[in-house]
Copies of this chain bind each other. A is one copy, B any other.
Amino acid sequence: MLGNPTTPTAFHVSTRGEYGMRLMVDLARHWGQGSISLHAVAQREDLPEAYLEQLVASLRKAGLVSGKRGAGGGYTLARDPAQITAGDVVRALEGPIEPQICTAEGDPVVNCIREQNCGTRAVWVKLQSTIAAALDGMTMAELAKSTSRERAHV
């Protein structure tokens, strides 16, 4: 694992987001097939199982997956793959989408305290809405589908 760059990059999503997204798409691909164990996911996606455990906890608390204990147990998407967006996943794993504190999602007037008319604020506001729109426009269903389609003709 650990495919992270040593050189700094802007807007880089951490392994939480990356692995978590892979996990969710994997679950979406197996939607309707009962509980899927993390062990299986870890093997298919070649990801550290113990670490996935940690990530899936966040996803469960966010109400995106539900777990079932014991032998034969595992995880399932909590609702239809078409009703879960990439934005949901990212927010569950990496927190709310806000380039700056003054652009907090939902809170329109958590503005910079000292400077009312900060010139740069326009940048971060635009960025926040753009990113959110992009991520909220993609569902697990779409991602799972495109993957298996590409896989079909390998």
Interface set of A (CB-CB < 8 Å, partner B)? 3-5, 7-13, 17-18, 21-22, 25, 29, 46, 86, 90-91, 94-101, 112, 114-120, 122-124, 126-128, 130-131, 133-135, 138, 143-144, 146-147, 150-151, 154
- Residues from chain B with a CB closer than 8 A to the CB of A25 are 119-120
Expressed in whole angstroms, the minimum distance between the Cβ of A129 and any Cβ of chain B is 9
Closest to A20 in B: B120
Instruction: Give CA–CA (A119, B8) in the complex, Å.
Output: 25
24 pairs, CB–CB < 8 Å, chain A vs chain B = A5-B98, A8-B95, A9-B95, A9-B96, A9-B97, A9-B98, A9-B101, A10-B90, A10-B91, A11-B94, A11-B98, A12-B98, A21-B120, A21-B123, A22-B118, A116-B154, A117-B150, A117-B154, A119-B146, A119-B147, A123-B143, A126-B134, A126-B138, A127-B134
